[in-house]
């Protein structure tokens, strides 16, 4: 099982609300991506039965793609969740249960962790729209895209000294056997 080297915030900093712009309910996919390296299409396909909040793990078995499969066989993996992600998912699950009750008969229970207002799969445009609200609230450009959370995860691990092979395992990539060499041309 992959173990994230994501640095936990100071426990004295309070709840997830201390995360600033990433504290809004719509930010849970971004928090999960930046702390686990999950792809946007993996987050959109994630089901509650693949999340174990007692064991602090998430199993990645599918993605929102034409085949409904992950990008590569290596992308199917089980990851440990940092406390920040577990707390965000617990809060999200509670909010989603309230939303499901309010929606009533219109709710289509597909077991999705990140669902539309009626329980269906999120469209990539929905994810982008919500992500742009986050970047705007953070005072950043709206040119950012959700996959940059995954890239940030990789950058944080790399700058923390995590081995490239370990990073590749965490994000579901095949590790290179040899580093590329510059030919000097």
Are the C-beta atoms of 69 and 79 separated by less than 8 Å? no
Q: How far apart are CA 68 and CA 65, in angstroms?
A: 5
The overall average pLDDT reported for the chain is: 77
pLDDT above 90 for 174? no
Q: How far apart are CA 59 and CA 38, in angstroms?
A: 11
pLDDT above 70 for 56? yes
Angle, CA of 8, 169 and 128, to the nearest 5°: 65
What pLDDT does residue 41 have? 87
Element housing 51 (H / E) = strand 51-52
Lowest-pLDDT range of 34-38, 113-117, 144-148, 161-165: 144-148
Q: How far apart are CA 155 and CA 165, in angstroms?
A: 14
Domains of the chain, CATH where assigned: 16-163 (1.10.443.10)
Between 147-159 and 28-36, two packed helices, what is the crossing angle to 10 degrees? 40
157 Cβ neighbours under 8 A, 6+ residues apart: 4, 5, 6, 166, 167, 170
Each residue's pLDDT tens digit, 90-147: 999 999 999 999 999 999 999 999 988 899 988 888 888 888 887 888 888 778 777 7
What pLDDT does residue 181 have? 47
Length of the chain: 185
- Give 160 or 112, the one with higher predicted confidence: 112
């Amino acid at each position: 099982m992959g173990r994230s080297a994501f640095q936990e915030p100071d426990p004295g900093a309070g709840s997830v609300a201390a995360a600033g712009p990433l504290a809004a309910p719509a930010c849970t996919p971004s928090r999960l991506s930046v702390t686990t390296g999950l792809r946007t299409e993996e987050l959109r396909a994630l089901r509650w039965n693949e999340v174990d909040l007692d064991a602090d793990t998430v199993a990645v078995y599918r993605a929102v793609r034409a085949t409904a499969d992950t990008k590569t066989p290596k992308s199917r993996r089980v990851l440990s969740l940092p406390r920040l992600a577990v707390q965000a998912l617990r809060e999200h699950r509670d909010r989603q249960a309230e939303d499901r009750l309010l929606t009533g008969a219109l709710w289509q229970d597909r077991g999705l962790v990140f669902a539309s207002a009626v329980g269906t799969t999120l469209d990539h445009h929905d994810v982008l729209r919500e992500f742009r609200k986050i970047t705007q609230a953070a005072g950043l450009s709206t040119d950012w895209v959700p996959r940059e959370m995954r890239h940030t995860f990789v950058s944080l691990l790399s700058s923390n000294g995590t081995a490239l092979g370990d990073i590749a395992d965490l994000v579901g990539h095949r590790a290179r056997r040899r580093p590329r060499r510059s030919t000097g041309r």
